[in-house]
């Protein structure tokens, strides 16, 4: 596992100088205290490369042993080429396949499922999966309902083929509901609304979210897919050592914990320091939890995410 977070911090106090908000509102409604901000010259692929290099070193392999790169991001360097291709070049690799997936905040659990199946199908040995999000590049700094929530980060894992049974990824459930896509979106810049003077003036290249509606579906879908995944894997909630949830809101995590009947203490939380970094929240939080000794070899770790699309998913891992 490897993580990169930019040095620069944006605190709740800083945000009170930008919009009509307060430290008290942000803390009580979200749990957030500060987030990290990438430098203007730092692209998603730059953050991805730093996280990837750390993950490859942590895996104890050389970068030449990577045989597939997948990147999840809603802030790609460009519409095309893919950020995975840009990353491949930045890592100094050639020939191996590289592609992006688009599943917003659920990107990391989606990538895990894709990489898991590609490894099990037999052709790949070491798959590099990277979430890199420069959300501050699509935030509307005049919209207090969203600008207080997001930050920048990248997280990478190397997933390797393993012949031992009952370790690694034990199961994965994904879901989506495209009919709700309009509740969390970036309206302009695609073929529906190409960039124009009007789209720029009207901030339509910025993220829009109907927070209240998103909140309810996030709680329901994450709780539901975790419950179904545990049933499918024949694991009781008590057996789970820790849960790594998407870090969008402390109140969402609290509600998911109550729905699942898993104590909140088992949920790893670092949104107070980083805010919502979309698909990068899970690898960032999981690496931190591991470094803090919250799980070790043999433990069951449950990941769950929800995001734009709508998309959602859960992954159950027995750590090796
Ligand atoms: O990562 C992808 C998935 N994203 C999520 O899961 C996020 C889900 N949504 C949320 O986390 C929450 O809905 C928010 C944190 C975005 C908002 O919290 P909320 O409790 O749902 O607040 P609200 O939108 O219902 O707004 C309540 C009040 C409103 O004022 P009135 O109408 O009651 O007078 C807002 O205008 O809070 C106001 N408000 C703020 N006040 C101070 C909204 N944003 C702010 C702010 N500072 N930053």
Task: Read off the pLDDT band of 122 (50, 70, 90).
Answer: confident
Q: Is the C-beta atom of 211 inside 6 A of ligand 1?
A: yes
Q: Is the C-beta atom of 218 inside 6 A of ligand 1?
A: yes
Atom 16 (ligand 1) nearest CA? 211
Q: How far apart are CA 311 and CA 108, in angstroms?
A: 11
Q: Determine the pLDDT at residue 165.
A: 84
Look over the chain and give the mean of its residue pLDDT values, rounded to a whole number.
97
What's the rounded mean pLDDT across residues 33-62? Answer: 98
Note the pLDDT tens digit of each residue in 216-268: 999 999 999 999 999 999 999 999 999 999 999 999 999 999 999 999 999 99
The residue among 154, 9, 192 whose CA lies nearest residue 71 is 154
| pLDDT at 54 exceeding the cut of 90 | yes
Q: Determine the pLDDT at residue 262.
A: 98
The residue among 84, 92, 224, 99 whose CA lies nearest residue 154 is 84
Q: Is the C-beta atom of 135 inside 6 A of ligand 1?
A: no
Instruction: Give the catalytic positions in this structure.
Output: 105, 246, 276
Q: How far is the CA of 223 from the centre of ligand 1 (A)?
A: 21
C-alpha pair distances (Å), 34 with each of 114, 141, 149, 176, 206: 32, 15, 9, 30, 21
Q: What percent of the chain has pLDDT over 90?
A: 97
Q: Determine the pLDDT at residue 288.
A: 98
Q: How far is the CA of 119 from the centre of ligand 1 (A)?
A: 41
Q: Determine the pLDDT at residue 141.
A: 97
Record the pTM.
0.97
Estimate to the nearest angstrom the gap between the alpha carbon of 164 and the chain centroid.
Answer: 28
| pLDDT at 166 exceeding the cut of 90 | no
| pLDDT at 314 exceeding the cut of 90 | yes
Q: Tell which one of 212, 278, 305 to mutate to probe ligand 1, the residue whose CB is within 8 A of the most ligand atoms.
A: 212
Atom 19 (ligand 1) nearest CA? 212
Q: How far is the CA of 210 from the centre of ligand 1 (A)?
A: 9
Q: Give yes or no for a contact between 44 and 50, defined as CB atoms under 8 angstroms apart.
A: no
Residue matched to tokens 């990353």? 87
What's the rounded mean pLDDT across residues 21-25? Answer: 98
| Structure tokens that stand for 143 in this block | 């919209």
What's the rounded mean pLDDT across residues 193-197? Answer: 98
Task: Read off the pLDDT band of 40 (50, 70, 90).
Answer: very high
Strands 300-307 and 242-245: parallel
């Amino acid at each position: 596992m490897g993580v990169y977070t930019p040095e620069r911090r944006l605190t709740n106090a800083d945000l009170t100088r930008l919009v009509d908000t307060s430290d008290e509102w942000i803390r009580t409604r979200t749990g957030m205290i500060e987030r990290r901000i990438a430098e203007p010259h730092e692209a998603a692929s730059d953050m991805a490369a730093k996280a990837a290099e750390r993950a490859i070193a942590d895996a104890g392999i050389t970068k030449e042993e990577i045989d597939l790169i997948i990147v999840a991001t809603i802030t790609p360097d460009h519409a095309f080429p893919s950020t995975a291709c840009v990353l491949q070049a930045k890592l100094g690799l050639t020939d191996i396949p590289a592609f992006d997936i688009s599943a917003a905040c659920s990107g990391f659990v989606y990538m895990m499922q894709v990489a898991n199946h590609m490894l099990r199908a037999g052709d790949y040995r070491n798959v590099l999966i990277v979430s890199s999000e420069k959300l501050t590049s699509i935030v509307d700094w005049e919209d207090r309902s969203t600008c207080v929530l997001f930050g920048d980060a990248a997280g990478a894992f190397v997933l390797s083929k393993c012949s031992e049974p009952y370790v690694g990824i034990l199961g994965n459930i994904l879901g989506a509901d495209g009919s709700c896509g309009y509740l969390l979106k970036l309206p302009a810049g695609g073929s529906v609304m190409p960039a124009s003077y009007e789209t720029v003036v009207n901030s339509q290249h910025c993220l829009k979210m109907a927070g209240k509606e998103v909140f309810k579906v996030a709680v329901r879908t994450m709780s539901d897919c975790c419950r179904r995944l545990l049933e499918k894997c024949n694991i009781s909630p008590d057996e789970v050592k820790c849960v790594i949830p998407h870090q969008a809101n402390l109140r969402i995590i609290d509600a998911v914990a109550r729905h699942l009947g898993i104590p909140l203490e088992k949920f790893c939380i670092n949104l107070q320091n980083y805010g919502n970094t979309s698909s990068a929240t899970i690898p960032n939080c999981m690496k931190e939890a591991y470094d803090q000794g919250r799980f070790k070899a043999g433990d069951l770790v449950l990941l769950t995410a929800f995001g734009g699309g709508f998309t959602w998913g859960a992954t159950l891992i027995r750590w090796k």
